[in-house]
């Protein structure tokens, strides 16, 4: 598969928390950083996502916002 996104972060799924419609998937990157994604429960099933599964976070964003407390 070829993608236009240039930010692909490979890691291992450490947790899948399902809600009524969506799930939060936590992906641990090398070095211990965790990336969390919100995807549909249907996508979790179709992709076979579960703890211990190798996966990748693909990030395609036009804006990244940074904020700080006053």
Amino acid 16: pLDDT: 98
pTM of the model: 0.84
The whole-number pLDDT of residue 33 equals 96
For residue 3, pLDDT beyond 90: no
The two three-digit tokens of residue 3, written as one number = 């993608």
Domains of the chain by start residue, with CATH: 7-52 (2.40.50.100)
Q: What percent of the chain has pLDDT over 90?
A: 77
Burial class (CB in 10 A: 0-12, 13-18, 19+), 25: buried
Chain-centroid distance of CA 33 in Å reads 12
């Amino acid at each position: 598969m070829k993608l236009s996104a240039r930010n692909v972060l490979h890691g291992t799924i450490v947790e899948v928390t399902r809600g009524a419609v969506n799930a939060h998937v936590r992906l641990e990157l090398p070095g211990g950083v965790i990336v969390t994604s919100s995807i549909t429960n249907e996508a979790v099933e179709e992709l076979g996502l579960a703890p211990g599964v190798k996966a990748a976070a693909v990030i395609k964003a036009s804006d990244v916002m940074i904020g700080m407390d006053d």
